[in-house]
């Protein structure tokens, strides 16, 4: 079963959107495998966003993601990586469709509420950066056959 890394960013935590966001993935039918509220160190931020290090906004990105707690999660399910990205909406909230998380709750690209892995390789890398294997919980849900 596929896994992805999702993270409510500091703006989403401050705006009280953790419950709203996790509810969307729960109701969709995905399974939560791990979650924690945490502060991101500058070192972890730079590693996580390593692919953007040459971008002009890299400094702002690191400053923003370390500016307050984030809610880090691992979700499981069929095609969860692509489906979660679809549910999040386009990176720039101005282009994100209504009904998506960014389309409903965000205005600017720097404060776009949520991060989600963009590929199976990123998911493995990001889950490994944020979670120890023992922090992830394996369990069955009795409704699985109905999803």
Binding residues for ligand PCG, rule: CB under 6 A, are: 52, 57, 60-61, 91, 109-110, 112, 115
Active site (annotated) includes residue 115: yes
Q: Using CA atoms, how far apart are residues 108 and 41, in angstroms rounded to an integer?
A: 24
Nearer to ligand PCG, 19 or 59 (CB): 59
15 is in an annotated binding site: no
Annotated ligand binding at 4? The verdict is no
CB-wise, 28 or 90, nearer to ligand PCG?
90
- Sign of torsion over alpha carbons 12, 82, 50, 6: positive
Catalytic residue among 6, 88, 115, 117: 115
Tell whether 92 is in a known binding site. Answer: no
Q: Give me the active site residues, please.
A: 115
């Amino acid at each position: 079963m596929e896994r992805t890394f999702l993270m409510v960013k500091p703006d989403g935590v401050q705006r009280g959107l953790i419950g709203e966001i996790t509810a969307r993935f729960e109701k969709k039918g995905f399974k939560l495998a791990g979650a924690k509220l945490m502060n991101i160190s500058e070192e972890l931020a730079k590693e996580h966003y390593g692919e953007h290090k040459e971008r002009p906004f890299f400094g702002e990105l690191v400053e923003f993601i370390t500016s307050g707690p984030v809610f880090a999660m691992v979700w499981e399910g069929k095609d969860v990586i692509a489906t979660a990205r679809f549910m999040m909406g386009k990176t720039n909230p101005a282009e994100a469709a209504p009904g998506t998380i960014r389309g409903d709750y965000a205005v600017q690209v720097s404060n776009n509420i949520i991060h989600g892995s963009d590929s199976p390789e990123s998911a493995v890398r990001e889950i490994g950066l944020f979670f120890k294997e023992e922090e992830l919980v394996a369990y069955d849900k009795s409704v699985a056959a109905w999803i």
